[in-house]
Amino acid sequence: IMQLTNMLVVSNAMPVKTVQEFIDYCRANPGKIAYASSGNGTSVHMSAELFKAMTKCDMQHVPYRGSAIAFPDIISNKVQLIFDNLPSALEQSRGGSVRALGVTSPTRWPGVPDVPAIAETVPGFESVGFYGISAPKGTPPEIVDALNKAVGEALKDPKLVARLAEVGGIPKPMTPAEFGRLVADETEKWRKVVEFAG
């Protein structure tokens, strides 16, 4: 139905303004950088672990019970960064509390075109959440197709598109086969990241 991105934001005390500067700083200070997450296994946590795996940055994970609880520690530089969900990260960065470095989508996100995609610096980096609708196994194909068509039509509604944008999402209609491939591909990708993270 839709895709969501996360945003890498850092403490204003960090001496970095770009993703490349951040990578260079991490590599020059191994083990001294801590990143917050909204809990173990969340998209916020997994985005950071994917970044670690792809950049060879040595960062320590500090899980919180939600990103709202983490932001005071990021602002005070007790932890240096978070790959938070776009709406809350954007609110904090636009308010000047933290500095936005990049979005986790493969290209710049429509709602924040001034923030680069991390993939512009780290080719192939992508950590995008998605929402879809599933039906029980064995559901007749004509019912699946009718549901898919109805959802596809709903995603053309400008009011719905605007509402999705308010929560940081963009419509992503797919066929049932495309959605099935996405789920399979994402499951394999994140299995490898979980193994890397231990």
Q: Which domains does the chain have, with CATH numbers?
A: 2-129 (3.40.190.10), 130-188 (no CATH)
The pLDDT, as a whole number, for residue 22 is: 98
Q: Could you tell me the pTM of the whole model?
A: 0.86
CA-closest candidate to residue 127, choices 45, 39, 71:
45
The pLDDT value given to residue 111: 84
The torsion angles phi and psi of 39, rounded to 5 degrees, stand at 130, 155
Q: What is the DSSP string of 30-78?
A: TT-EEEEESSTTSHHHHHHHHHHHHHT--EEEEE-SSHHHHHHHHHTTS
* 139 residue type, one letter: T
pLDDT at 187: 86
User: Which pLDDT score, from 0 to 100, does residue 174 have?
Assistant: 92
Mean pLDDT by 10 residues, the chain (198 residues): 93 98 98 95 93 96 95 98 94 96 94 95 95 93 95 94 85 92 88 81
pLDDT at 124: 96
